[in-house]
Structure formats: C-alpha cells, structure tokens
Structure 1
Amino acid sequence: MAAGAPRIFVSHLSGVAVFDPAGDQVGRVRDLVVMLRVGQKPPRLLGLVVELATRRRIFLPMTRVTAIQSGQVITTGVLNVRRFEQRPTERLVFGELLDRRVTLTETGEEVTVLDLSVHQLPARREWEIDRVFVRKGRKGSAFRRAKGEALTVEWTAVTGFSLEEQGQGAESLLATFEQLRPADLANVLHHLSPKRRAEVAAALDDDRLADVLEELPEDDQIEILGKLQEERAADVLEAMDPDDAADLLGELPTDEQERLLSLMQPADAADMRRLMSYEERTAGGLMTTEPIVLRPDATVADALARVRNPDLSPALAAQVYVCRPPDETPTGKYLGTVHFQRLLREPPPALVSSIVDSDLQPLDPEADLHAIAGFFATYDMVAAPVVDEAGSLLGAVTVDDVLDHMLPEDWREQEFHLDEEEVATDGA
C-alpha cells in the first residue's frame, strides 16, 4: 500500500481473500497479529494469520503484503507454510483485543472496543494501530448491543489493553465471524485460547453453538460443554443432532451423563439413552433418530414440503421413509424408502406409498462399520434406514457419520503436510 493510504478498520479484513501476484487465491485472513509496546506507543502490526485451503494457519508478515484494496490482500507471492504459533509478546486482534473493556484516559470512563484501525507508516513497510472505535456504557450481549455513544479515539487516548480481562465479551468477535459456516467457526474457536473460547461459546445462541460443537474435536467439545451451566449444556445437547449429542454424552463420566439427561426433555433424553445403548461403531450407534418419516397416505407434495426444511442436512433430505403410525422413531412397520429424485418426477397429489422402494434391504442396528460402508458403496447411498427385528424404523445413518468414524480420530485437527517450508505461490 502506498504511503498516505487511508486507514483500514480491522473488521473489514475478516475473511478477506489473500492473493499472489498472479491472481491465484492462497487463503483467507483469520486474524491480525500485533505487538503491544511500552508506554503509549501504538502497537505494531506484525502480520496476518492466513488460513490456507488446507486449513493450515500460517503467519504472513506485513513486509510481504504489497496491497490491501477492494476487499483483498495481495502478497509478494512467497509464503512460509509453517504452522502459525503465537509468541508470548504477540496479541491477536480478533481473538484478544476486540470486545475488551478499556478506559478513556481523559475521563476515566470504561468503554468497550468495537473495532481498531491500522495504517501504514509513511516511507516505511511498517504498520501500526492508530485509532480505536469504542462504545460508552455497559456491555451488550450476544443478542443486543449496549446503548451508548460510539466514538473513534486515538490509541493514546485509552488504557487497559495490556491487562488480562476476566470478563471480556464476544459481541464484536461474533459479528466479525457471523457469516462463517459452522465448520469454519469451529476452526476459529479451536485456535482461540481456552478463556476466549469459553467466552465466545457463552455468547453463541444454543442452535449456533450446537452446530459448532458438532464440528469440533472431542477435547474441545468436552471443554466447552464443561464450562456451560448444566441447564444450558442440556439445552445445547438437545439442539445437536441426536447421534452427535449421544457421542458427546458417551465421553462424559456416568454421573455427569445422568445429571444432563435429567435436565433434558423426556423425549430427547429417551433418544439419547437409546442411541447410547448401542456400540459406537454400529448402525444403531451411528444413526440419527430424526429422519423424515411419512405415513402411507402422505402425498408427494407433503414429502417435498418436509424435504425443503432448511434445518435438514443434505444427506437426510435426500430421501424419506414411509412407515405405518406412529410416525416418530421407533415407528410402526417400515414400508420402504422414497428417494428425492423420484419425488421430483411424480405429480404432487400422488401418494408416497405408490412409489415406495421396498426392495432395498435396511440396515440392522447391530451392523458394524465395515458392513455399513459396504452398503453405501454398493448402492451409492447418502443415507440408509435402520430397522429392528420387529420391522420398526429406528433411525437413519448418513454418509457423513460413516466418514467421521472411518477417518482417524484426530482428522479434524490434521492438515495436509507440505514438503517445503518456503513456497513461492507465483512460481518463483
């Protein structure tokens, strides 16, 4: 960026694409790294934390940034692909500085940091934070911003950034990442400090936190759940997919399992207990108890309306299961499956019982992982019904759950390993 360029507010850099000189995208900005300095000197912006396509996070020094413009970052093309590791003297802007309570030097009034601006020093390749956007008044919540005057002040006009804050909020950080998919937000949480991770988890609503927990490694799941109040932990478990919630409950001590189950709705607790009664790597242990179930007199229009539910995963929306009442698992007699593509080819008034596929054998709840994987591969399925000896539908196994258990246990934390520590993305 040329000397004299306007300041950039850091919230505008979240998730911005990073390109090499040839125009090829190499990753996205996930945080900024600054070094606080003694006295009132503004912090130096050392570089950016960039997430590559492989989900590895690397450090991109500002000396290798040639331009920040039009919602993109341009680099010199040379990247050090070693994994980013934060040093004791470094601070992460999104993870540690936003939402912090600081003090206005002139009045002694406490304010909340909403944003920071950075600029490049004239005739140098150094950057620093120069201004702070703050809001007066008490803190807001994850759902409502606190009322109060917002103003931009010089860095030297506030104090308190060097202090460890015990009750730091997460409002601005969540606003920064609100567009991320659950898997990407989970990746953000995984890289935060335990203190900050707990604060962000506390600020998320139950449904959003449930989606994110499903994408986190097991250790992070247990850590976050353990820091929630028990009533809220039970609510979050209810909001999770039943199979994922049962897996998480299964990792907790028995007395803790029982406390949480006792706080859940009876129907949800019954589902959890049923899933936990099966071995983990069997169809019964992998299945969800909430597939789309229809009675024989339901129409194609009814089925399509259920498939349109945006809360369903693509795998669960790929087919519906026709059963005699009751139409909640465990159901009455399972009659067969109707695939989504077949629904699209039939007139809306047609009954699902007239187009049901009854030839495909369902999975036994005791079927092991090898048998389940073979079933999916043989019949090109993305979901499969699980039926007991009495012919009742117990649930459905989806292909994503099969993959989760076939990959190494730490697959969420694994990254592709590159042979070279220094790569030139422009071919240099």
Structure 2
Amino acid sequence: MTTTRPDAAVLLPPEVLELWRARVAAVTGDGPARLFADAMTRTLARTLHVLDDDTVFVITGDIPAMWLRDSATQMLPYLRIAGDSPDGPLADVLVGIVRRQLAYLRHDPYANAFNIEANGRCHEPRDLSDDPWLWERKYEIDSLCFPFLLAHQVWAATGRSDHLDATFLAAARAAVATLDRETAHEERSDYRFVRPDTVAIDTLTRDGRGTPVGPTGMTWAGFRPSDDACTYGYHVPGNLMAVHCLRLLAELVPAAGDDPGLVTDAASLADRLAAGIAAYGLVQHGRHGEIWAYEVDGLGHQLLMDDANMPGLLSLPLVAGIAVDDPRYRRTRAFVLSEDNQYFYSGRVAAGVGSPHTPERYVWPIALAVEGLTSESPERALELLQLIATTTAGTGHVHEGFDVDDDNAFTRPWFSWADSMFCALALSLVPAT
C-alpha cells in the first residue's frame, strides 16, 4: 500500500486561511486567532494520509492509529470552510475520511481504533483480538455513531453524496445489527474484552463480559468514549447519540441507493432506545431536578457524573440533536458544571470538566470548548476560547488535559482532537456572512 500526505496549503490555501484567521481575530483578538491558524494547518499537514483508494486515514496526533470518534471530531472545524467549495480538495478529504471510517466499521463494528494497513500494530498485544487491522477492540457505542454523524455533516455542508454508497449501506446495516444485538448483551452477545494484568478501567470483569446488566431497552457498551471501562453497562450519552444517528439514516439512506428495510429497522431501534432512556436513564437529583444519568445497569444502580470526552452529557447538543435550551439539558448541564459532578474541577487557572482517564484536577480543553459550543451566552463562549488559548503552557498546542492550578502540568503534547475543538469554538464565534 502506498500513501501520500496531502499539501495543507492545497487543502486550505494561504489566502483562505488568512481570511478565516482575520475573521476570528476580529472577534477574539490576535492571540487566539494565531493559535487557530496554526492548529488548522497542523491537523491537515500532520494527521492525514491518502490511501490508494482515495480514502483518508487520520491519526490522532501522537498515536499512529485512527479512532472512529477522534477522526470525526478532528474534522469538525473544516466543515464550514469546505461548504464554500464543495467540489474542492478539502471536501474530497472529508469524503475520503468518511469512506475509510465506514470501511473500518464494516470490517469490525466492535473495534474503536484501526491501523492504516494489516500490520499487526496494537496498543496491547495481550488483548484477546489478533486481527492485524485493529489497534484496539474496545467496544464503544460512539464508534458506531460518529461515522454516520460525520457522513451527515459532510452531506449537509457540501451537498456531496459520493460517500453514500454500497459500503455506507453495509456499514449502516452492521451498526444497526450490532446496536440491536447489544440491547440483550447478556443473552445475545459474544463480545469479550480482556487485558491481562492491568488497571480496572482498561479491562472488563466477568471474563470480559463486563459488570452485570438487566434489560432496559438501551444498548450496552463495554467502554466509554474515554476508552475507559464503563462502571455500569448502559452509557446514557452514548445511547442518546445512537438514537440521533439512527434517525439520521432516514435522510442518508435514500441518497445511497435506498433501503426501506434498513430505515425502518433503524427507526424502530431508535424508538426502543429512546424508551429505554426515558424509563431507566433519568434520575431525580436533589439540587438539580430531573437529569440524565451518565451510566445505569438496569439493576437499580446509577452513576451521576460526566466525562470530558464526547459523547458526554455536556456535549449532547453537538452529538445527539438535543437543543441547548431543552429544560432537561439545562438541568443536566447545571449538574455537570457544578461540584456535584465529581469530575468538575476548579482551581487558580481554570474550571471545567476532567476525566478519570487523566490525573485528578486536570481539566480538558475539549470540555471547555464543548462548554462554549453549547453555551447560550456568546460572551461566555469567548471567555472559554480565550482561556484555552492562554493555557497551552507556551507550547502553541491545545493539550488533552492540564492541572487547574498550573497549565505547565499537562498530558499529551500533541492531541489533534483538542486542537480541532478549539478551532470549532473559534469559528462558532464568527458571524455568518
């Protein structure tokens, strides 16, 4: 297999980049605008690999693998720009990324991260899977959702439908079948994940089956979007995202050649998941009222928290079609951004949502960007953008997480998803022309 690295200046010509940098600067000032321009260029120049079949492989930054979630969110800020030139090279890349994601999903709907070819590279060679295409096989609901969310975003932004083909239909059928199978995880699933001699959040209990769950109508997940094991098997934000993406298929499938049975099956499954969330995924909180839980097990246990990764409760308007002024979302958001959420941290430098995936009291710029993108206050969104821009420890990179008391203590020196979420927030502040 041969691959080529596209020229960032062709995908995003200097005059176009400068136009958008100036538009961002007019709202945010020069500092955030410089970081915006650098991050927009960096992701295009350093993460993309065009394959022989014109599909596009995307690394996360400092890890040479393609996550279905990360590769979708890394492209978020480019959608608006690609919409100005729907037949241009940037739009071609977006289409190529979706096609690569769908090919991977069709290959193994239980995997979260893939290699550029069948080279056997992996995060941990002792995992049960020996498929040489898989970097990791942690089953996460969002891995089945983000390719279809990005497919819809590309279609809506550019009018392109060349990524909606036979592979799209096959991947959609695989996703619907997998999500349906996992509504009865205990009875119907043969998925197992065991990582020997590791911390609890990197493996599943009960010989790889995960903690026990009862039937709820929701679909099961082994792992969260953080790649950490679920405490309880029904990840509520993931289920809400699945409902949304299953319903998007009604718009996308006809452009791919139509398959009424697939649309019907997807709609029926979405309805069942939504009913399960309504029955089991809501809790009454003493201070905040009725809110969504983060995880439940259908056996009476509920986990109230949020995690910086997407999909999380804070990001529901971005990934699940929930309106920012939805009363339940507002209540849930108030919980997430309060001390009642054990992963909300406040310190001398910043306050925001972190994750058990990173050290205690580390806030994630991704979560700060999500907070801004889902805020009803443009002034608050601008404050968050400027906070991210001033907490890079002078590196010029948006990091995975940093200490709320000292941004010189950070994780992952280059994390392209964080760069892209900062850029998406910056673009959201630029008025439409």
Which structure: greater helix fraction?
2
Greater relative contact order (Cα < 8 A, sep 6+) = 2
Which structure: greater strand fraction?
1
